[in-house]
Chain A
């Protein structure tokens, strides 16, 4: 356990933005916190990073209290802030060199730049970088001190889909190196793809925390099975199949809410017995997004609105 948060509460202008939050992060995992804008994700991460002092509760990061051991802590962790930028008039290698000078143990700038595909841009000005390149620079600066934990606050917000995918691979590489990753996002598929464990935050509270698999399986969410049948099957018949909860039918196109495995084996027997044929079978497992909606009832802004 590298991060331990106990009863964290933050008040901001008389409003409780984080309410009695407790959780731990294990060594070597990718821990994700998801939630709508304003749910308290950034406030929580900033308390842990040692950027805020106005909280109550207890935090230990690698055994250090971030309020007391700020300097010590910042030698051990790497931080990417939400929407940070750097001095536009500096070259990439200059800002890297500057950050490297803050630490005793440091990574080679050239190696990092090569790894993150920014080597050709070392002589470019920060102001001339694209959004994706800026975020890569942000990660490089977070990694320069060879940190044990890296904090990524909305790393992919504002990036195009291709850059976002690249970033995901980057984050997985960090994990392979043995670095613990704590990230926040409001993209469900991102959390689903990357995270070992996910905490769902709503209005300052953690409403669920588990592995993505468990979150999806343990909350009574059903699969959606859709198929086309050569003949019409009466709703009453399908309703009698085990685990079926809901049926939508149009022109012999069926979409069934159920447990896919149980339903499909029963359906199989049924169509063989009746000499029907089914086509275009598709099984949709519940996504993290479904879990999220179930918990929060909130609608996330779509990407376009960012």
Chain B
């Protein structure tokens, strides 16, 4: 157990020393929030069906943070560990590569939570963020979103060979997820054609449920979105387990 904690500690250090990870998880969402906060404030806006810009953006940006850790950080770390034979090297110790893999999940999960906390804190202190939902419901939806997006990242790490290819695929998944799902640019401003495409991206559903939960709407109104998230999580997890290679 002590050794496992030691592995988590070192993986945590690796994460915090990766500038891109730190910037996009901890700083970028808040900077974006401040940018739009300064322009529009948090007054009720017709664009967001009477919600304030900040109130509508925070759940969307939570989705953005999960995408950074789940689609970029996690699969890139794992595929580089495989390419560098770090996973295999762990197999040649009394520990197992499973420990390093679990550590990566824990660290990315933890950093996601920290990123979300910073975002909410800034929104609350600076723009008087309003929250009408049920905390437990929001936490559950956030967790479901994390499982779903992380499982997609895991699938990338499992089926794509080599760090360079993983990087390309991660970017290919990452940018549509970022721009076509409402995570950065509100879907409400998009033409119908894009809205149709966005239905095929799991993050769209994740953000939709997040926004609903944030406003205190009943989760049962989002049954189909939740089902999609659960289905994606299960399918990606099964495929990952089937295709994942240690070396």
* A in complex with B: yes
Q: Using A98-B7, A98-B10 as known contacts, say yes or no to A81 and B94 having CB atoms under 8 A apart.
A: no
Q: Using A99-B93, A102-B93, A102-B95 as known contacts, say yes or no to A81 and B85 having CB atoms under 8 A apart.
A: yes
Q: B88 — which chain A residues lie within 8 A by C-beta? A: 51, 81, 84
B17 touches A98 (CB 8 A): no
Residue tally, chain A, CB below 8 Å to B = 23
Answer whether residue A258 sits at the interface, using C-beta atoms and an 8 A cutoff. Answer: no
Which of A74, A75, A83, A101 touches B6 (beta carbons < 8 Å)? A101
Answer whether residue A190 sits at the interface, using C-beta atoms and an 8 A cutoff. Answer: no
Q: Which of A89-97, A173-181, A201-209 contacts B (4 or more CB under 8 A)?
A: A89-97
B85 touches A89 (CB 8 A): no
Answer whether residue A37 sits at the interface, using C-beta atoms and an 8 A cutoff. Answer: no
- CB of B76 to closest CB in A, whole Å: 12
Complex: chain A residue closest to B85, CB-CB: A84
Further 7 A-B residue pairs, CB within 8 A, beyond A97-B6, A98-B6: A74-B93, A79-B89, A81-B89, A84-B84, A86-B89, A95-B10, A101-B6
Complex: chain A residue closest to B95, CB-CB: A102
**Number of residue pairs A-B, CB distance < 8 angstroms:** 56
Complex CA distance for A51 and B86, rounded to whole angstroms: 13
Chain A interface main SS type: loop
Q: Using A79-B89, A81-B88 as known contacts, say yes or no to A89 and B14 having CB atoms under 8 A apart.
A: yes
Scan B170-214; emit 1 where CB is below 8 A from any A CB, else 0: 000000000000000000000000000000000000000000000
Q: B93 — which chain A residues lie within 8 A by C-beta? A: 74, 99, 102
Within A70-125, the residues touching B (CB, 8 Å) are 71, 74-75, 79, 81, 83-87, 89-90, 94-95, 97-99, 101-103
Complex: chain A residue closest to B77, CB-CB: A87
Which of B3, B14, B94 touches A90 (beta carbons < 8 Å)? B14
* Sample (23) of A-B pairs whose CB atoms are under 8 Å apart: A49-B92, A51-B88, A51-B92, A71-B94, A74-B94, A81-B88, A84-B85, A84-B86, A85-B85, A85-B86, A87-B81, A89-B14, A89-B18, A90-B10, A90-B13, A94-B13, A95-B10, A98-B6, A98-B10, A101-B6, A102-B3, A102-B93, A102-B95
Complex: chain A residue closest to B10, CB-CB: A98
Q: B2 — which chain A residues lie within 8 A by C-beta? A: 101
B18 touches A84 (CB 8 A): no
Q: Using A101-B2, A101-B3 as known contacts, say yes or no to A51 and B91 having CB atoms under 8 A apart.
A: yes
Within A30-89, the residues touching B (CB, 8 Å) are 49-51, 71, 74-75, 79, 81, 83-87, 89
Complex CA distance for A90 and B17, rounded to whole angstroms: 9
A86 touches B92 (CB 8 A): no
Within B1-25, the residues touching A (CB, 8 Å) are 2-3, 6-7, 10, 13-14, 17-18
A102 touches B89 (CB 8 A): no
Q: B92 — which chain A residues lie within 8 A by C-beta? A: 49-51, 74, 79, 81
Q: B81 — which chain A residues lie within 8 A by C-beta? A: 87
Complex CA distance for A238 and B94, rounded to whole angstroms: 64
- CB of A80 to closest CB in B, whole Å: 9
A87 touches B10 (CB 8 A): yes
Q: B14 — which chain A residues lie within 8 A by C-beta? A: 87, 89-90
Scan B62-106; emit 1 where CB is below 8 A from any A CB, else 0: 000000000000000000010011101101111100000000000
Complex CA distance for A15 and B155, rounded to whole angstroms: 29
Complex: chain A residue closest to B9, CB-CB: A98
A89 touches B17 (CB 8 A): yes
Complex CA distance for A99 and B90, rounded to whole angstroms: 9
User: What 6 pairs between A and B have smallest CB-CB spacing?
Assistant: A79-B92, A85-B84, A101-B6, A89-B17, A84-B85, A101-B3
Complex CA distance for A87 and B89, rounded to whole angstroms: 12
Complex CA distance for A83 and B84, rounded to whole angstroms: 8
Complex: chain A residue closest to B93, CB-CB: A102
Q: B6 — which chain A residues lie within 8 A by C-beta? A: 97-98, 101
B94 touches A102 (CB 8 A): yes
B3 touches A84 (CB 8 A): no
Complex: chain B residue closest to A100, CB-CB: B6
Q: B10 — which chain A residues lie within 8 A by C-beta? A: 87, 90, 94-95, 98
B94 touches A75 (CB 8 A): yes
B94 touches A103 (CB 8 A): yes
Complex CA distance for A94 and B91, rounded to whole angstroms: 19
